[in-house]
Homo-oligomer: A and B are copies of this chain.
Amino acid sequence: MPGETVWKRVVIVGVGLLGGSIGLALRQRRLAEQVIGVGRVGHAPRAAVECGAVDAALDRLEVAACEAELVICCAPVQQIPELVEACAAVMPPGGLITDVGSTKATLVEQIESGPAQSHFCGSHPMAGGTASGVQHARADLLVGKLVVVTPSVATPPGLVERTEQLWQALGARTCRLSPAEHDAAVACTSHLPHIVAAALAGATPLELLPLTASGWRDTTRVAGGNAHLWRQILEENRLPALRALENFAKVLNQWQSALERGDGHALEQLLDAGKAIRDSLGS
Which A residues form the contact surface with B (CB < 8 A)? Answer: 126-130, 145-146, 148, 175, 185-186, 188-190, 192-206, 208-225, 227-228, 230-231, 234-235, 238, 241-242, 244-249, 251-252, 255-256, 259-260, 262, 264, 267-268, 270-275, 277-281, 283
Whether B235 contacts A213 by the Cβ 8 Å rule is: no
- Is the contact region of chain A dominated by helix, strand, or loop, or is it mixed? helix
CB-CB under 8 A for A219 and B234, given A148-B211, A279-B224: no
- Across the interface, which residues of B come within 8 angstroms of A256, CB to CB? 242, 245-246, 249
- Across the interface, which residues of B come within 8 angstroms of A190, CB to CB? 211-213, 215-216
Whether B248 contacts A199 by the Cβ 8 Å rule is: yes
Per the bound structure, the CA–CA distance linking A185 and B217 in Å amounts to 15
A258 to B, closest residue via Cβ: B234
User: Mind listing 12 A-B residue pairs with CB under 8 Å?
Assistant: A146-B211, A148-B211, A189-B209, A189-B212, A190-B216, A198-B275, A203-B244, A203-B247, A218-B219, A227-B275, A231-B264, A249-B252
Shortest C-beta distance, A226 to chain B (Å), equals 8
Starting from the known contacts A128-B214, A196-B200, A199-B274, 19 additional A-B residue pairs (CB-CB under 8 Å) come to A175-B210, A188-B203, A188-B204, A188-B205, A188-B211, A189-B211, A195-B252, A199-B255, A201-B273, A201-B275, A202-B274, A204-B277, A212-B281, A218-B222, A224-B278, A224-B283, A227-B275, A230-B267, A242-B259
Shortest C-beta distance, A78 to chain B (Å), equals 10
Per the bound structure, the CA–CA distance linking A4 and B44 in Å amounts to 61
Shortest C-beta distance, A259 to chain B (Å), equals 4
Whether B199 contacts A252 by the Cβ 8 Å rule is: yes
Whether B199 contacts A270 by the Cβ 8 Å rule is: yes
Shortest C-beta distance, A214 to chain B (Å), equals 6
A198 to B, closest residue via Cβ: B274
Whether A218 contacts B221 by the Cβ 8 Å rule is: yes
Shortest C-beta distance, A242 to chain B (Å), equals 4
Whether B270 contacts A202 by the Cβ 8 Å rule is: yes
From B208, B218, B231, B283, A189 is in contact (CB under 8 Å) with B208
Per the bound structure, the CA–CA distance linking A213 and B221 in Å amounts to 13
- Across the interface, which residues of B come within 8 angstroms of A203, CB to CB? 188, 192, 244, 247-248, 251
Per the bound structure, the CA–CA distance linking A57 and B220 in Å amounts to 40
Per the bound structure, the CA–CA distance linking A231 and B263 in Å amounts to 10
Whether A213 contacts B189 by the Cβ 8 Å rule is: yes
Shortest C-beta distance, A53 to chain B (Å), equals 21
Whether A204 contacts B219 by the Cβ 8 Å rule is: no
Shortest C-beta distance, A102 to chain B (Å), equals 10
Per the bound structure, the CA–CA distance linking A266 and B112 in Å amounts to 30
